[in-house]
Chains A and B, each alone.
Chain A
Amino acid sequence: MGATIIEKIIRRNTGLPEVKAGDIVTVQVDRVMIHDIFIPFVADKFEEMGFTRLWDPDKVVLIYDHLVPASQVDDTRHFRVGNAFAEKYGMTHVHRSDGICHQLMPEAGYVKPGNVVFGTDSHTTTYGCVGAFSSGIGYTEMAGILGTGTLWIRIPPTIRVNINGTLPENVTSKDVILRLIGDLGADGATYQALEFAGDTIESMSLASRMTMANMAIEGGAKCALFTPDEKTAEFCGISLTEAETSLVGDPDAEYVRVLNYRAEDFVPVMACPSQVDNIHPVAELAGTKIDQVFIGSCTNGRLEDLMCAARILKGKKVAPFVKLIVTPASRKIYREALANGTMKTLQEAGAIITHPGCGLCCGRTGGILTDGERVVATNNRNFLGRMGTSKVEIYLASPATAAVCAIAGEIVVP
């Protein structure tokens, strides 16, 4: 009997060659990520549990992103507590303004194929882009890992998603994952793994795969997995071992569902207010007036996303009544976009460019909206009240769709 990717990762991690979906096992954790919102709670629980040292300070990463730069005086307490915790327990991997956690973890080399990684954030599923098992957990469990280096998990059954063919022009991996979430429903993959395969997936950049892994949680998934390939190796700066290249779902593995898509059938889509699975073709929504456009976040704030927007905005102007807010996902991306002229193009088109961080996506800073306003946004959630008041309408879209909407001042097809 063959195995799914998640079963192979867990078998290697635990040394238990027979374990399969549904089994409960204890995994050895390769890396953890804690962000600024939860570090005070993690610190409290860790000490309440009676630990006096981290199981391995080298495996713990602390990232300030949700609250950077601080917008309320109370936010600064999180940095103070985080800094004190890091110093007390000898942590060296602390990022205070380098970008969004889910961009930094793979970008800075903290996550490798086959790793088992947990973070105090639901979008921790992102690291499946390099073939790592990664998932979000609560702060109590994180405190437990910090002391023991282990966590119990139930091995998830897998939904296999095969996509073959060539995506139409101006259709991106964001349109693919939004459509999939619409088809699955917001709880359609609860407690399950998504495994992506097919030549469309193989031809995608790492950045495009990150977008899809990032949003797996919006279908309820515990993790999303991509087979490591040469692009993964280059991105991670490694040579793939046999164990890593064998992270492929076997033809005779047991899947709970297999979904097959033709890439040519995808069209630009949006998630309409206020459910992530409320998916409609952009064409159906054309003509809807908008007030703001947001291009950024751990979903779509990477260099290829900014360059896609810049290609569309080059020599054009953002509609006069629309605010276009652009937030690179990391400092490195910001630097690269400055160096290759992307930022200049966006800036000349009228974009407001902000420092890398979670800011607007989680409704904390930099572009909050009010009753009756509409925003086209490239991030991952359009929940009520997420980017301002509960009467803001959030339409989730790809960077290509977002850019054309910014010029038109209304929803248009890219």
Chain B
Amino acid sequence: MSEKFKARVWVLGDDIDTDIIIPTEYLALKTVEDMKPYAFSPLRPELAGQILPGDIIVAGKNFGCGSSREQAPEVIKALGIRCVVAGSFARIFFRNAINNGLLLIENADLHDAVKEGDEVEVEVGVKITAGGRDFPIPSLPDNLLEILNAGGLVKAMRRRNGLE
């Protein structure tokens, strides 16, 4: 039985790089909570304040390109974003996101089919339904789901080792 949820959509374009997601000047802030207000600020300074827990981001190709900063997926997760759907993801961001417990879904067609504020239904590993249309999405293997459900790699390993 796969996880299913409804969510409100925020739409972003192609090549959303890690400097847009969280600019270098805020990386020295003590916690990811402190960085939250500045997420996406070079592109849309008001966005971080508008995102509500449970929303999702739908973007174009090459989401998360640029540096290897693990704070990029961390700050998106801290904003309460349930998942990011994009045409494609940059490699290091993809790994960092899963390892930090942020669900990523690849789909090339959804971006052109939704507008900001739409509500979509996500059935993890099966499909996304938007405007009465189904968009199939790849299934995630159990081991990745285990990392995601635990809230990231460190927590997954702690759970595996009987510490949580």
Contact = CB atoms under 8 A, between A and B. Distances in A.
Contacts of A147: 157, 161
A363 interface: no
Interface string A316-335: 00000000000000000000
Contacts of B70: 138, 140
Interface stretch (B23-31, B41-49, B136-144): B136-144
B154 A49 contact: yes
Given A191-B91, A222-B91, A140 B143 contact: no
A313 B61 CA distance: 49
Interface string B124-162: 000000000000000011011001000001100110111
A280 interface: no
B95 A137 contact: yes
Contacts of B143: 26, 152
A50 B161 contact: yes
Given A24-B140, A138-B70, A190-B90, A50 B153 contact: no
Given A144-B153, A147-B157, A50 B163 contact: yes
Interface string B91-112: 1101110110000000000000
B57 interface: no
B161 A24 contact: no
Contacts of A48: 154, 158
Given A26-B141, A144-B153, A152-B144, A50 B90 contact: no
A51 interface: yes
A183 to B, nearest CB: 19
Nearest to B152: A140
Nearest to A50: B161
B157 A187 contact: no
A214 B143 CA distance: 30
Interface string B70-82: 1000000000000
Nearest to A147: B157
B162 to A, nearest CB: 7
A312 to B, nearest CB: 38
A257 B148 CA distance: 33
A291 to B, nearest CB: 30
A222 B62 CA distance: 15
A154 B94 CA distance: 10
A50 B162 contact: yes
B96 A138 contact: yes
Interface in A127-168: 137-138, 140-141, 143-144, 147-148, 152, 154
A144 B157 CA distance: 7
B65 interface: yes
Interface in A185-211: 187, 190-191
B141 A24 contact: yes
Interface in A32-49: 45, 48-49
B17 to A, nearest CB: 11
A51 B161 contact: yes
Interface string A2-38: 0000000000000000000000111000000000000
A24 B144 contact: yes
Contacts of B154: 45, 48-49, 140, 143
B161 A49 contact: yes
A154 B90 CA distance: 12
A110 B65 CA distance: 32
Nearest to A154: B94
Interface of A: 24-26, 45, 48-51, 137-138, 140-141, 143-144, 147-148, 152, 154, 187, 190-191, 220, 222
28 contacts: A24-B140, A25-B141, A26-B141, A26-B143, A48-B154, A49-B153, A49-B154, A49-B161, A50-B158, A50-B161, A50-B162, A50-B163, A51-B161, A138-B68, A138-B70, A138-B95, A138-B96, A138-B99, A140-B99, A141-B153, A144-B157, A148-B160, A152-B144, A152-B147, A154-B94, A190-B62, A191-B91, A220-B91
Given A26-B141, A141-B99, A152-B143, 8 more contacts: A51-B157, A138-B99, A144-B153, A147-B157, A147-B161, A148-B160, A190-B65, A190-B91
Closest 9 CB pairs of A and B: A50-B161, A49-B157, A50-B163, A191-B91, A50-B158, A24-B141, A26-B143, A144-B153, A152-B143
